[in-house]
Structure 1
Amino acid sequence: MKKLLIFIFFPLFSFAQTDSVKVSFSEEKVDTFTRTEVISISQKLGVMRAAKAGQRIGFETTPLVIQNSPFYFNYIYEQKILKEFSILLGLKYSYAYKPFIYEIEPRWYFQMKRRVKMGLQAYNLHGYYISFRYKQARGKDNQPFLFSYNSYFETSTFAINYGYQAGNILDLSVSAGMKNVSEVSTNSKGWLTHNSQSPKNQTWFLASNLKLSFGNSYPKTKTDKFGKLLITDNNFEKNRLLKINASDLFSIDKYSQFIKADVDYEHRIGNTYFSSNTSFKGVFNHFKFFSSKGSIDTTFNNVVFEKRFPIWNAQKVSNYYTNIQLSEQLRYYITKARDVKKGRSGKNFNGVYLGLMAMYSNTTFNNQLPNNGEKYMFTSIEAGSVYGGGGVLGIQNQFRNRIFFDFGISLLATNKNTQIESLTTKYSNISIHPYLKIGFVK
């Protein structure tokens, strides 16, 4: 698992800084000895490889309302039309969002010509870009629904983007533009509904975007079979890290204003392979949504639901949602001692870790449903304080002393039978929460 994730994520971030990273491949010789060949990972995996096209599948996240929006699963084909220019064609889908979204995006990799002349990369799909993105949503009318927290559905979007793409793996950008929307409304029963007769409107927006993908670049280049992968850049010492998560930072329009700060500080404990990782996350969201006028028992599509469901007034009101989370992890990097002994790594925070975790979370909102047993905004998130403790398993890597990713899963026993945030799965007072942080370190 560790080697697979290192193989996937390492080239992604190292390219964003310089292209001189080295990787050691060892090939076992039965009759003699182990031979080590040091080659450039850029030559093997991308930035120095010419590419005229690429196709990839993956997912995209964009923050929205009180939770992150559901993942958009996407397919993208990118074709170079000139050395520095390309055009992207994309198809996105989300179960919760309903319609398919078609996307077209011409791009200009504005640093590529200079970097090629300097010998830092080839003409391919890597680098900083400026682009224009047009999206069009297509889908059938929705029946009245009970589970959506969306105040609108996008019908079309035009945006200017500034971003960085690392081949077929990472695309991180900021978008600004206008979008046409079809608003959610209420029917005669007070249920939320959305169809072809829904009010149409327009809004400006500013948002951060993160896409993670897997795919191929063309023309394909035949590569040697990988032997044992040794990341020579892992041979550095690091006793403390300040980490800033750069995913899902903000989404601002006239309907909602979402801002998130997510910062970790990790430091080594003594001269050991244990560390203390302190995390702070704060979320603020102001958004317009319908005011509640009660709840009812209901049957929907011939199914009688056990819980009562909210009904809404037609007028929208301002809502404020905040969430503050503090956590402390005691981590042990389980393979670090062996890797240091074999000369594969310095003492740093790269690798697989096991640990203990304590967490405190406080959530507030100003328009909670009246019945404490009901869901708020169709989630299991409740107002008030939640605290708990348990275990954590994860893998972390820092690249070129500037970029990091941290992927893990926590298993916590909490004081409340509640959902901590949107990705949390709960079983009574036990919560399972996966997390992925990608950003910058200092």
Structure 2
Amino acid sequence: LTFHFNHFKFPNMSVKYYISIFFLQAMHISLTAQKDTSFQTIRQESGEYQAPVIETPSDRLFKTRIPSKWMFKMNLAQTFNFRRNDLQTANTLSGTPLGIGAEYKISPAFSVGAYYQMLLGYQPASEFLSKGGWLYSASVAVEGRWYHDMKKRIKEGRSANNFGGRYLGLEGTWSNNNQLTDNWDDKRVALRYGLQQRFLRNGYFDISIGAGVSQGSPILKRSTYFSTDQRVSVGLAAFLPKFRNTAQNGNLCDVLNCQDEQYNMWKVNVFDVVAFRSNGIVYNLELRPNVAYEQKLGRSPFSVELAVDAVFNTGKYRYYYLLDQKEYSNRITSATWDATGELRWYYNMRKRMLNGKSGNNLSGTFFGLQLNRHNLIKSAVNYETDNAGSLDGSLVAGDYWTTNLVWGIQQRILERGFIQFKIGGGSTFGGNNYRYEGAGKPLTKIGRQNELNVVGELKVGFAF
């Protein structure tokens, strides 16, 4: 077979041109094929294995894995914990009933806060006070806190950046004390060490001890003095930014033991069991141990509780006697015990059980009918000034009975915890008061009139 290029009539240069184009195209295809079919090694570097974070019931109770930048808090510990004290003067160094504040995190380990606290009450006229009136004291404080183990807990995955944990604080306080007979300012700088924890969605508690230097009290007749105190705060709190964690905002039954069957419970209150405060000369120490036992009546929503508590109070006080405008001081010691029986009705227990929200236990809201016996063990005054008779004739609450109708809520927490709050009112009857007759003289027993009273009680502690 013979081809004759003359039939195509291609010029000689054209044939060479097209042959060159053919070889260039072939080379391009070859190079492209070589590139596309080359083997590429792909290497993936595996990171360090991290164990999954396991959320515990205590994480859901204290919201330890929810971050927050702002914390707004209201201390209600003393506001709703009414107490009857044998000696009115023993309330001189009691805690401030109402406090509000805000705390801001400037870094995981450090925060700054500002607080306002107020005490308001009315003092009626008496033989010692010719004219009654309102008493109030207010204080403003700023504080810097160092949560010393926060970074470590965040690194170990045990906490988010929030306001829960142990801290060391530096606090500056200015207080204005407005009394009917005097008005003065106190300034204080103190170191505090404490523990703060969030509680469920909108609760918190803060327990701390402090020691510092105060200045300004006219009663002590010196400008600067050393002071110590213990502080317990329990109340409501709000946190920003709002963070929704489905796991932590879900079912809390493993925290609150919703479905447990429980028919009896021992309770040991540890909230405010010990309270102390001192400024070198004036001091107050109070011990309030409390134990209770509650027993369900069969499988019904009714139960009975027996609670026994004791109060020991000792302190040294200085104040002014209005009749002669002189200062005097004394030491006061008192001891009492109370026994309280209470019949409770957990009024929505059956409904909660039918809806699958609760087992037959001792958690929930209730109405209670109380019968209380108050007994005075000891009440003594040791005078330390010349005008020692200033307390002669004053009365001391002695032995009496009280009946109260209360509303309350009780909740079992985790395996060994409980919280309880009650508020109500009733009447005292029977028994006797006692009257001071002078230094070294026995108290005189006198009759006691029936009185209306309002009661409130907050307990936090261990349950068995």
TM-score, normalised to structure 1's length? Answer: 0.68
- 1:53 is aligned to 70
Structure 2 unmatched ranges of 5 or more: 1-53, 121-134, 382-389, 434-448
Say whether residues 1:207 and 2:230 are aligned partners: yes
Shift in alpha-carbon separation, 1:218–1:392, aligned structure 2, 3 A: closer
Which residue, out of 88, 92, 104, partners 2:143?
A: 104
Deviates more, 1:318-327 or 1:64-73: 64-73
Shift in alpha-carbon separation, 1:209–1:20, aligned structure 2, 3 A: same
**Post-superposition CA distance 1:340-396 (Å, at most 9, x none):** 23321112211111222110112442249433xx5x5xxxxx331011224222111
Give the 3-state SS of the residue equivalent to 1:362 in structure 2: strand
**Separation in 1, partners of 2:194, 2:118:** 23
Give the 3-state SS of the residue equivalent to 1:349 in structure 2: coil
Question: Is contact 2:78-2:98 (8 Å) kept?
Answer: no
**Separation in 1, partners of 2:369, 2:76:** 30
CA-CA distance at 1:432 after TM superposition: 2.1
- 1:302 is aligned to none
Shift in alpha-carbon separation, 1:209–1:85, aligned structure 2, 3 A: same
Question: Is contact 2:116-2:138 (8 Å) kept?
Answer: no
Q: Name the amino acid aligned to 1:133.
A: L
Deviates more, 1:135-144 or 1:319-328: 135-144
- 2:444 is aligned to none
- 2:335 is aligned to 322
Say whether residues 1:84 and 2:109 are aligned partners: yes
Shift in alpha-carbon separation, 1:279–1:153, aligned structure 2, 3 A: farther
CA-CA distance at 1:157 after TM superposition: 3.8
Give the 3-state SS of the residue equivalent to 2:137 in structure 1: coil
**Post-superposition CA distance 1:201-244 (Å, at most 9, x none):** 423424242231332x22233689xx998846411122222223
**Separation in 2, partners of 1:19, 1:357:** 41
CA-CA distance at 1:86 after TM superposition: 2.4
- Bigger share in strand: 1
Which residue, out of 162, 168, 189, partners 1:124?
A: 162
Say whether residues 1:238 and 2:262 are aligned partners: yes
CA-CA distance at 1:72 after TM superposition: 4.2
**Separation in 2, partners of 1:328, 1:290:** 38
Question: Is contact 1:66-1:321 (8 Å) kept?
Answer: no
Question: Is contact 1:414-1:431 (8 Å) kept?
Answer: yes
**Separation in 2, partners of 1:79, 1:390:** 43
Say whether residues 1:171 and 2:205 are aligned partners: yes
**Post-superposition CA distance 1:160-215 (Å, at most 9, x none):** 31213216621231303134154454xxxxxxxx9xxx543423424242231332
CA-CA distance at 1:136 after TM superposition: 1.6
CA-CA distance at 1:285 after TM superposition: 1.6
**Post-superposition CA distance 1:4-36 (Å, at most 9, x none):** xxxxxxxxxxxxxx95449xxxxxxxxxxxxxx
Which residue, out of 265, 268, 290, partners 1:262?
A: 290
Query: How much identity, in percent, do the aligned residues show?
Result: 18
Deviates more, 1:65-74 or 1:398-407: 65-74
**Separation in 2, partners of 1:407, 1:54:** 24
Give the 3-state SS of the residue equivalent to 1:66 in structure 2: helix
**Separation in 1, partners of 2:215, 2:335:** 26
CA-CA distance at 1:399 after TM superposition: 1.2
Shift in alpha-carbon separation, 1:155–1:280, aligned structure 2, 3 A: farther
- 1:271 is aligned to 299
**Separation in 1, partners of 2:73, 2:277:** 28
Greater C-alpha Rg? 2
* Equivalences for residues 21-60 of structure 1 within 5 A: 21=57, 46-59=63-76
Question: Is contact 1:70-1:97 (8 Å) kept?
Answer: no
**Separation in 1, partners of 2:340, 2:360:** 24
- 2:309 is aligned to 281
Which residue, out of 335, 345, 366, partners 1:353?
A: 366
Give the 3-state SS of the residue equivalent to 1:91 in structure 2: strand
**Post-superposition CA distance 1:275-304 (Å, at most 9, x none):** 2212122221211125998x86xxxxxxxx
Give the 3-state SS of the residue equivalent to 2:337 in structure 1: strand
Q: Name the amino acid aligned to 2:163.
A: L
Give the 3-state SS of the residue equivalent to 1:94 in structure 2: strand
Say whether residues 1:137 and 2:201 are aligned partners: no
Shift in alpha-carbon separation, 1:206–1:141, aligned structure 2, 3 A: closer
Q: Name the amino acid aligned to 1:175.
A: I
- 1:161 is aligned to 193
Question: Is contact 1:161-1:176 (8 Å) kept?
Answer: yes
Question: Is contact 1:333-1:351 (8 Å) kept?
Answer: yes
Which residue, out of 429, 432, 435, partners 1:415?
A: 429
Shift in alpha-carbon separation, 1:341–1:208, aligned structure 2, 3 A: same
Q: Name the amino acid aligned to 1:203.
A: F
Give the 3-state SS of the residue equivalent to 2:289 in structure 1: strand
Shift in alpha-carbon separation, 1:57–1:318, aligned structure 2, 3 A: closer
Give the 3-state SS of the residue equivalent to 1:340 in structure 2: helix
Q: Name the amino acid aligned to 2:259.
A: N
Q: Name the amino acid aligned to 2:106.
A: I
- 2:275 is aligned to 250
- 1:438 is aligned to 460
Give the 3-state SS of the residue equivalent to 1:139 in structure 2: strand
Question: Is contact 1:324-1:361 (8 Å) kept?
Answer: yes
CA-CA distance at 1:328 after TM superposition: 1.0
CA-CA distance at 1:265 after TM superposition: 2.0
**Post-superposition CA distance 1:310-366 (Å, at most 9, x none):** x67533121112232211111121111222233211122111112221101124422
CA-CA distance at 1:129 after TM superposition: 0.9
Q: Name the amino acid aligned to 1:102.
A: A
